[in-house]
Amino acid sequence: MIRKPDGCIRFCIDYRKLNAITVKYCYPMPLSDDILDVLGNAKFISTMDIASGYWNVPMHLDCISKTAFTSKFGLYEWLVMPFGLCNAVPAFEHQMENEGFPTHLERIRQVLERFRKTGFKLKMKKCHWGRDPVAFLGHLVTPTGNPEKVKTVMNAKKSHDLHTLRAFLSLTSYFRRYIPGFAASAAPLGRLKQKDVAFHWDRDCDTAFLQLQRKLVKPSILVYPDFTKRFKLYVDSSHLAVRVCLMQEMNGRDRAVAYASKIRTGSMGRQD
């Protein structure tokens, strides 16, 4: 049993042995950055949450017996797709496949009609209609930032081992497109992950940790890309890292669309 963020219980089964002999179903998954870019200049955004999403997908008759599990109440088999199967995510994504408010409403109608045809049921308390700021893929689609993510970053403790360090870097790296020079700022922490390097939290690590916290609490405000206009790419390089900024002119001035950076290592690091 796994507790979900809203306090409900998610029933999950260990299907690792079944997954190991399952033929993998390959279906392209959308990248979160690409989805956010597609939002473009949308003024109205709605989000919908499918109630027990996987349970809306019926299992093939030939596969039902393979999902069998035992409990103190006896043996059970899944008639709908359970959590834990390696092909659940691509199978569910396969099932899934506006500038003005009237257009926005028409698109909602199309989505709801598709849900109705497939028999998917929505969880109404997690659906939001015609909003300006909405939480989406861990981002708050509004210039003011996501207060829940800010709270998570502010409550993060200084790492005391590789496990907690990787968790912090994973959290901050997810939002690296908002942070100028992320790679250079995170370099002291990244070095602790290298092989044959003893885990020793020093003053440089302390500085890097606090710097990343500050940058994430007050991240740069990015604009959505307009693919009908030209882009500008600014590049800066030092002995430590390479960083770039993708910009676009909007309302008479250049605005940042995304940041990227990379530590110089190996032969790249020896170049002048």
Q: Output 22 or 237, whichever has higher pLDDT.
A: 22
Residue among 23, 11, 137 nearest 84 (CA)? 11
Residues 93-113: what's their mean pLDDT?
69
Contact between 128 and 134 under an 8 Å Cβ cutoff? The reply is yes
Q: Which pLDDT score, from 0 to 100, does residue 143 have?
A: 42
Residue among 211, 216, 214, 29 nearest 139 (CA)? 216
In the numeric block, the tokens 């028999």 are attached to 119
Cβ-based neighbour number of residue 182 at 10 Å = 24
Region of residue 160 (left: phi > 0; alpha: psi -120 to 50; beta: else): alpha
Q: Which pLDDT score, from 0 to 100, does residue 234 have?
A: 85
Contact between 75 and 68 under an 8 Å Cβ cutoff? The reply is yes
Cα separations in angstroms, 237 against 182, 201, 210, 269, 271:
13, 27, 23, 11, 11
- Which tokens sit at 249? 């002119």
Tell whether the model's pLDDT for residue 142 goes beyond 60.
Answer: no
Phi, psi (rounded to 5 degrees) for 248 = -150, 140
Quick one: pLDDT band at residue 211, thresholds 50, 70, 90?
confident
Phi, psi (rounded to 5 degrees) for 135 = -80, 125
Helix or strand holding residue 16 (H, E): helix 16-20
Which of the residue ranges 183-192, 252-261, 262-271 would you say has the lowest mean pLDDT? 262-271
Residues 105-114: what's their mean pLDDT?
79
Cβ-based neighbour number of residue 148 at 10 Å = 11
Contact between 244 and 257 under an 8 Å Cβ cutoff? The reply is no
Helix (H, G, I), strand (E, B) or coil at 171: helix
End-to-end CA distance of the chain: 54
Cα separations in angstroms, 203 against 76, 96, 200:
55, 48, 10
Q: Which pLDDT score, from 0 to 100, does residue 81 have?
A: 92
Tell whether the model's pLDDT for residue 259 goes beyond 60.
Answer: yes
Query: Which residues on neighbouring strands pair with residue 40, listed in sequence order?
Result: none
Q: Which pLDDT score, from 0 to 100, does residue 249 have?
A: 86
Residues 208-212: what's their mean pLDDT?
87
Q: Which pLDDT score, from 0 to 100, does residue 98 have?
A: 44
Q: Which pLDDT score, from 0 to 100, does residue 144 have?
A: 44
Q: Which pLDDT score, from 0 to 100, does residue 136 have?
A: 46
Looking at residue 129, the DSSP 8-state letter turns out to be E
Q: Which pLDDT score, from 0 to 100, does residue 266 have?
A: 59
Region of residue 137 (left: phi > 0; alpha: psi -120 to 50; beta: else): left
Tell whether the model's pLDDT for residue 146 goes beyond 70.
Answer: no
> Please, what is the average pLDDT of the chain?
77
Q: Which pLDDT score, from 0 to 100, does residue 76 have?
A: 94
In the numeric block, the tokens 């399952």 are attached to 22
Q: Output 246 or 155, whichever has higher pLDDT.
A: 246
**Distance (Å, rounded) from C-alpha 7 to C-alpha 1?**
12
pLDDT tens digits along 148-181: 656 676 777 888 888 888 888 887 777 777 777 7
Q: Which pLDDT score, from 0 to 100, does residue 145 have?
A: 45
Q: Tell me the domains of the chain and their CATH numbers.
A: 2-140 (3.30.70), 147-269 (3.30.70)
Residues 223-242: what's their mean pLDDT?
80
Q: Which pLDDT score, from 0 to 100, does residue 154 have?
A: 72
Q: Output 272 or 237, whichever has higher pLDDT.
A: 237
Q: Output 144 or 162, whichever has higher pLDDT.
A: 162
Residues 4-19: what's their mean pLDDT?
83
